[in-house]
Structure 1
Amino acid sequence: MAQQGQFRLLASRRFLPFFLTQFLGAFNDNVFKSALMVMIAFRLAADQANALNNLAAGLFILPFFLFSATAGQLADKYDKSLLIRRIKLAEIGISLLGVAALVLGHNGLCLLVLFLLGVQSAFFGPIKYAILPQHLRKTELVGGNAFVEMATFVAILGGTIVGTVLSGASDAASGSQWIGAMIIGVALVGYLVCRAIPAAPAPVPDLKIELNPITQTSRLLREITRTPAIFYSIIGISWFWLLGAAYLTQIPSFGKNVLGGDEPLVALLLCSFTIGVAIGSLLCERLSGGRIELGLVPLGAAGLTYGGIALSVIGGGLQPLADTSLAAFWASDGAKAFLLHLALIGVFGGLYIVPLYAMIQDRTDRALRAQVISITNILNALFMVISAVLGIVFLSVLDFSIPQFFMVIALMNAAVAVFVFNRVPEFAMRLLVWLLSHTMYRVKHEGLEQIPAEGPAIIACNHVSYVDALLLAGAVRRPIRFIMYKPIYEIPVLHFIFRTGRAIPICSKQKDPEGYARAFEEIEQALEDGDLLCIFPEGQLTKDGELAPFKAGIEKILQKNPVPVIPMALRGLWGSFFSHKDGNAFSTLPKRFWSRVSVVAGKPLDAASLRAEKLQEVVLGLRGEQR
C-alpha cells in the first residue's frame, strides 16, 4: 500500500506540478552548463579552456553562498507558489539571454548567464524542500522526497548528455540553435506547469529580512546547533553531495582517460550511478513503510563505504580498451562488476539521503523550515567545493589514480558516518529497531498520537524483553530517555546506545543507595528540562509473562514532578528470543521470526491522583490477553 501511495503522488495536483517544475528547471540548468563547457573546450586552447571551465563551475556555485540565506527568508515570508512563478519567469528571461550568448559565441556573456542560473537555483533551493511538508502528509514525505531526489539526478544526467551531444554537433551554428530552442521551450513549459502548483501560504509573513548573508547564516547556524539531530543530519546531507560530486566529476575522466572509451561509455557509467540513486530513493518508501525511518541512514552509509571500496578495487583492475565500443567494454573483465557497484553506490546513496531530508522537514519549526534548508544548501555548496579541492590534491598534487581516490573518499565516508552516528545515537538505535522489525518482528502501533509532542511527560510500560526500549524508541518519534534497570543498561552494545541516548540507570535502594538517589535527581532534572521519560514500573523483566506488581517509584517521581503519565503496553513479545520464557533469555537459538508485536498507548493519566496499582490496571487493560 505504501508503494502504491508513493506513485499515487504523481497523479496528485499537490505534488505533480511541483515535481515537473523542479525537474525541468534542473534539466535546463545542466543543458546550458554542459553546452557551455563543451563549447569552451573546443573553442579555446587547453590551458585557457581549463581555466575558463573552472571559472564557470565557480560562478555557478557562488550564488549559493551569496543568496541562499536571503532566499530562505523570502520562502518563509511569502507564498512559495507565488515565488516559484516569479522564479520561473526569471528563468525565461535568463534563457533568452543564454540563447543570445550561445549564438554570438560570447564567452563573457555565457558566464554571466551561468551565474544568473546559479542565482535562480539558489532562490529555488529552499522552496524546493520547504514546500513539500505544506502539500504532503507526514506519511507522504518519504515518497515525495524520493521522487525529488530521483528527478534531480536524472535531470542532471539528462541535461548533461543532451547539452553535450547538441553542442558537439558538427555544425556549431545548428547546435547552438537546437540548444537555444530547447532551453527556451523547457523554460516556457516549466512556467506553465508551475502555475498549477497549489498555494503554499507563508508561515511567517511578518518576517524582517536580513540581507547580510554572513549575519543571517551565523544566526541560523547557532539556532540549528541547538538541535544536534538536525545539525548533524545537514552535515550528513552535505557529505553525500561531496561524494556525489566526486563520483560525477571523476567518472567521465575515468571512462575517457583510464579506460580509453568515448562519450557512449561515459554516458553508460553515469547512467549506472543515476539509475542506482533513483532505485535507492524509491526503495526508501517500501523499506520504511511510508514512515520517516532513520534506521536506513546507517545502512546507506555502510553501503556507500562498501561500494566505494569495491569500486576502487575493481576499477584498479580494469584495463584500457583496444576497442572503444560499448560491446567491447561489456565483454571486458570486471566491467559488469564495476557497473553493478557503481549502481549500488547510487542505491545506498538514495537510502542515505532521502530519510535525512524528510527528517529535517518534519522536525524543523515551520517558521524556520525554508531558512534551515537554505543553510543546508550553503553547506552543500561548500562541501562540493571541498570535493573539487580533494580531487585536485589527491589526483594532481599527490598523483593518486582515480580508483585510489575512490578508496580515499570511501574510507573518509566511514569516518564521517562514525562521527555523525556517535553524535546522534538515534540513528544507530533506529537501525537496530529496523533490523529487528524486518527480521524477528512485525511491529504495529496503536494510539501513539496520545503522546505529547513536547513538554515533560512519562511513559509507563510493561517489561517483557531486553529489546523493549529499542522497540519503544523506534515507535515513538520523539526522543525518549529511559529509566532502566542497571543490569540491562550495562549489556554490551546496547550500553553504548543507552548511554549516548542519556538513559538513566537505576537499581534498588538496598543495593546502591547513592546510585538510587542520584537516579532520582537526574529524573527530576530531566522533567524540569522538558524531556520525555520512559519507566518500566515492574522494575525487572517478567519471568512468567504476567505483569509483576508496579513499584512505588513512579509515585515518588510524580510527587516532585506532577507531569502527564502515558500508559503503554507491549504485546506479543513473550516467548521471543529476548524474553525469559522457558528459561533465561538468549539461552536458545531464535525460533520465531517476523512475529506480530504491538506497541499500544492509552490516554494520558493525571499525576495528582495516580497510584502504582491503578497504573498497573490500565497497562494490563492495554495489553489484554496477548502477552
Structure 2
Amino acid sequence: MSHQFSLLRQRRFLPFFLTQFLGAFNDNLYKNALVVLLTFQAMRYTSLSPGILVNLCAGLFILPFFLFSATAGQIADKYEKSRLIRITKLLEIGVMLLASLAFVLDALSLMLVCLFLMGAQSALFGPVKYAILPQHLAADELIGGNALVESGTFVAILIGTLAGGVLISVDGGSAWISATALLLAILGYVSSRGIPVAPAASPSLRINWNPVTETWRGFQFTRRNRTVFLSILGVSWFWFYGALFLSQFPAYAKDMLGGDAHAVVLLLAVFSIGIGLGSLLCERLSGGRVELGLVPFGSVGLTLFALDLWWSSPLAVAGGTPLPLTEVLSTPGVWRVLLDLVGIGTFGGFFIVPLYALIQSRSEQAHRSRIIAGNNILNALFMVVAAGMGAGLLAAGFSVPQLFLVTAVLNALVALYIYVLVPEFALRFLVWLLVHTVYRLRTKGIENIPASGPAVLVCNHVSFVDAMIIMAASPRPVRFVMDHRIFSMPLLSFVFRVSGAIPIAPAKDDPSMLERAFDEVARTLEAGDLVAVFPEGRITDNGELYPFRPGIRRIVERTPVPVVPMALRGLWGSTFSRKDGPALSHPLRRGIFSRIELAVAAPVPPAAAHPEYLQQQVSALRGDRR
C-alpha cells in the first residue's frame, strides 16, 4: 500500500477526510437537487425562466465566498481548528433542518436562503480545510494528503450531483433529499469529533469584521511570498478552466453527442475519474515531496488534451429525440472525446495538487488560514469570470468545441506567463523530466540531509547533470558552488542561474570571483540554507575520485556547520559523463531510464570535516559502482 493510502488508517487524517468528503457530498446533493427541481418544475413557484433560476442558484452559492471568506480566514487563524470544524458541521445540520422545512412548506424563497447558507457554511469551512493539513501531516505527507483530499472532493461532487438529480426525481423526492442531506450532515459532525486538536496559529489576532478592508488586507498577505501568490493565481486559473469545461457539459452532451442527461453524467464521471487518478498519481511521481515540476507537466497536458477535444469533437447533431447512452457510445469519435476528458482531469490533478501543497508549506503559519481565504476568494472570482466569458462567447456565436479551443490557448498563455515570472516551476520540470526519462533515480539515506538548518553537502562529480540530480533528490532547496565555466554553459546556464548556483573560479583565473563565492557561501549558510560543493573541483574523466581540494575546510572554518557526504552511483558512462570522450559524444549509450543512485551518509561535525576524511566517506558510499 502506498504512503498516501496509509493516511486513511490514521486518526490524524481519516476523520478529517471523511468530514470534508461528506460536506462536499452534501453541498452537491442539495445544490443539484434544487437545480433539477427548478429546471423541470419552475412554473410551480415563479414566472421566472428555469435558466435564470439555475444561474441564480449558482450565484447564491458562490456569493458567500466573497462576503465571508476574509472573516473565516481570521477566525481559522485565531482559534483551534478542530473545534471550528465541529461548529461548522453543527451549522450544516441547522441549515439542513431549515432546508427540510423549506421542502415541507414548498417554499422556493426559503430553499434559496438555505442554498446561500450552505455556501456560507462552505466559505467558513474552506480556510480551515487546507490550513489544518500542515499541522497534522509531515512535510513528506502533504502531497499524499492533498491528493486524497482533491480526489475525494471530486468523487463527492460526482456522487452528490448524481444522487441529488436521482432522488429529487422520484416520488416523494423532497422527503428523500431532506432525509439524506440531514443524515449526511449528522455523519459529518460525528466524523469531525475524531479530528485531533490543531492549535491556533495566531491566538492574539484581533478580528476585523469589515469584509472589504479585510479582503484587501488578505490579498496583501498572499503577495508577501511571490511564489505563493503566483501559485494561488495558478489554483484560481485551474478553477476558471474547470468551471468553463463543467458548465459546457450539458450543451456538449446534447448538441455535439446527441445524448440526454445520462450523457451529461458520463462526461462528468470521466472528468472526475481523471482528476482523482491524476491527484493520486502525484505522490508516486513526486516521491512524496512538493514537486513543482509536476505543475508545468500538468499545464502541458491541460492544453494538449483540450486542443484534441476541440479537434476530435463530432459535428453538431440535428435536433430530435436524444440518443440513449449505448448509441452515444457507439458514435464514431466519442471514445476519443472521453479519453480527452480523462486526460484533462488527470493532468489537472498533476497541476492542482502540488500547488495546494506549496501554498500550505510556504505560507507563514500565523497567516496561513487568511492566505487560503484569499485563495478561496480569488477562486470564486475566477469562476464567476469563467461563467461570464463562456456566456459571452456563446452569445457571440462560438460553438462549445470552439470554447474549448479558446480555453486551451488561454491555458498555454497563462502557463507561459507564470513560468516566466517564476522560473522555479520550469526548472523543477526540467529536473523532474531528467530523473524520469533519461534516468531512474533511487535514493539511499536521504533522511540524513537535515530537515532544517544549514549544512554543506559534498559529492563526487561524475557528469554535467550531477547538480540537477541532487536537486531532484534533495527534500530542500540547495545552492551549488560550481565552476564558472560549467555555470556559463548553454542550456545548463538557465538551470544553474534559476537555482541560485554560486559560480567560482580558481585564484589564478579570477581571485575576486573566488572571494565573492566564499562570501556568498557564508551568507547562505548563515541564513540557514543548504550549500552543495563538488570538492574534486572537476568532472572525472576516468571514473575515479580526484583528490578533494581544501576549499571545503575553508568553508566550515568560517561557518561551522555539519557536512553531509554523498555519492552518485551509476552515472559513469552515461550521456553526460566524460567516458570515452567529451560529454554527449555518445548520446543514450545506456538507453533511457538508466538506473542511478544517490547515497547519503550521516552528517560529519565541522571539526572532523577534513578533505581526506570526507573523500574516504564519499568513496565508501560510492563503492565499486561508478
TM-score, with structure 2 as normaliser: 0.91
Would the aligned equivalents of 1:572 and 1:598 in 2 still touch at CA under 8 Å? Answer: no
Tell me, which stretches of 5 or more residues in structure 2 are unaligned? none
Would the aligned equivalents of 2:77 and 2:203 in 1 still touch at CA under 8 Å? Answer: yes
Q: Once structures 1 and 2 are overlaid, which stretch shifts more, 7-16 or 96-105?
A: 7-16
Aligned to 1:580: 578
Would the aligned equivalents of 1:438 and 1:594 in 2 still touch at CA under 8 Å? Answer: no
Tell me, which stretches of 5 or more residues in structure 1 are unaligned? none
What residue identity is the alignment partner of 1:372? Answer: I
Would the aligned equivalents of 1:429 and 1:470 in 2 still touch at CA under 8 Å? Answer: no
Shift, 1:186, TM fit: 1.7
| Mapped partners of 1:66, 1:530: distance in 2 | 40
What residue identity is the alignment partner of 1:508? Answer: P
Aligned to 1:81: 82
| Mapped partners of 1:22, 1:90: distance in 2 | 14
Aligned to 1:546: 544
Would the aligned equivalents of 1:79 and 1:201 in 2 still touch at CA under 8 Å? Answer: yes
| Mapped partners of 1:512, 1:317: distance in 2 | 67
Shift, 1:470, TM fit: 0.7
3-state DSSP of counterpart to 1:96 = helix
Q: Deviations over 1:128-158 (max 9, x none)?
A: 2222333334443333222211121122222
Listed as ranges, the matches of 1:377-392 within 5 Å are 377-392=376-391
Would the aligned equivalents of 1:318 and 1:335 in 2 still touch at CA under 8 Å? Answer: no
Shift, 1:12, TM fit: 3.1
3-state DSSP of counterpart to 2:77 = helix
| Mapped partners of 2:389, 2:599: distance in 1 | 47
Would the aligned equivalents of 1:258 and 1:320 in 2 still touch at CA under 8 Å? Answer: no
Would the aligned equivalents of 2:81 and 2:197 in 1 still touch at CA under 8 Å? Answer: yes
Shift, 1:342, TM fit: 0.9
Q: Deviations over 1:347-389 (max 9, x none)?
A: 1111221222223333334433333322222221122112112
Is 1:199 matched up with 2:197? yes
| Mapped partners of 2:524, 2:286: distance in 1 | 31
Q: Deviations over 1:201-236 (max 9, x none)?
A: 334444433333444444444344343332222222
Would the aligned equivalents of 2:449 and 2:600 in 1 still touch at CA under 8 Å? Answer: no
Shift, 1:281, TM fit: 1.6
Would the aligned equivalents of 1:472 and 1:599 in 2 still touch at CA under 8 Å? Answer: no
Aligned to 1:237: 235
Q: RMSD of aligned C-alpha atoms?
A: 2.8
Shift, 1:554, TM fit: 4.2
Aligned to 1:71: 72
Shift, 1:551, TM fit: 3.5
Aligned to 1:141: 142
| Mapped partners of 2:78, 2:604: distance in 1 | 37
Q: Deviations over 1:528-570 (max 9, x none)?
A: 6554332223222111222223334445555665555444332
What residue identity is the alignment partner of 2:393? Answer: F
Over 3 Å counting, the alpha-carbon distance change for 1:624 and 1:204 in structure 2 is farther
3-state DSSP of counterpart to 1:99 = helix
Which of 264, 268, 277 lines up with 1:266 in the alignment?
Answer: 264
Shift, 1:334, TM fit: 0.9
Which of 409, 412, 416 lines up with 1:411 in the alignment?
Answer: 409
Q: Once structures 1 and 2 are overlaid, which stretch shifts more, 333-342 or 417-426?
A: 417-426
Aligned to 1:163: 164
| Mapped partners of 2:353, 2:281: distance in 1 | 10
Equivalences, count: 620
Aligned to 2:600: 600
| Mapped partners of 2:462, 2:217: distance in 1 | 46
Q: Deviations over 1:49-70 (max 9, x none)?
A: 4333333222211221222232
Which of 480, 483, 500 lines up with 2:481 in the alignment?
Answer: 483
| Mapped partners of 2:352, 2:609: distance in 1 | 44
Listed as ranges, the matches of 1:45-124 within 5 Å are 48-124=49-125
Aligned to 2:332: 333
| Mapped partners of 1:345, 1:264: distance in 2 | 20
Over 3 Å counting, the alpha-carbon distance change for 1:463 and 1:97 in structure 2 is same
Shift, 1:312, TM fit: 1.0
What residue identity is the alignment partner of 1:356? Answer: L
TM-score, with structure 1 as normaliser: 0.90
What residue identity is the alignment partner of 2:32? Answer: S
| Mapped partners of 2:298, 2:261: distance in 1 | 30
3-state DSSP of counterpart to 1:598 = strand
| Mapped partners of 2:440, 2:594: distance in 1 | 5
Q: Once structures 1 and 2 are overlaid, which stretch shifts more, 564-573 or 278-287?
A: 564-573
Q: Once structures 1 and 2 are overlaid, which stretch shifts more, 306-315 or 95-104?
A: 95-104
Identity of aligned residues (%): 53
Listed as ranges, the matches of 1:394-405 within 5 Å are 394-396=393-395, 398-405=396-403
Would the aligned equivalents of 1:317 and 1:334 in 2 still touch at CA under 8 Å? Answer: no
Would the aligned equivalents of 2:255 and 2:316 in 1 still touch at CA under 8 Å? Answer: no
Aligned to 1:228: 226
Over 3 Å counting, the alpha-carbon distance change for 1:490 and 1:17 in structure 2 is same
| Mapped partners of 2:518, 2:87: distance in 1 | 57
What residue identity is the alignment partner of 1:159? Answer: G
| Mapped partners of 1:226, 1:616: distance in 2 | 42
What residue identity is the alignment partner of 1:89? Answer: L
Is 1:6 matched up with 2:4? yes
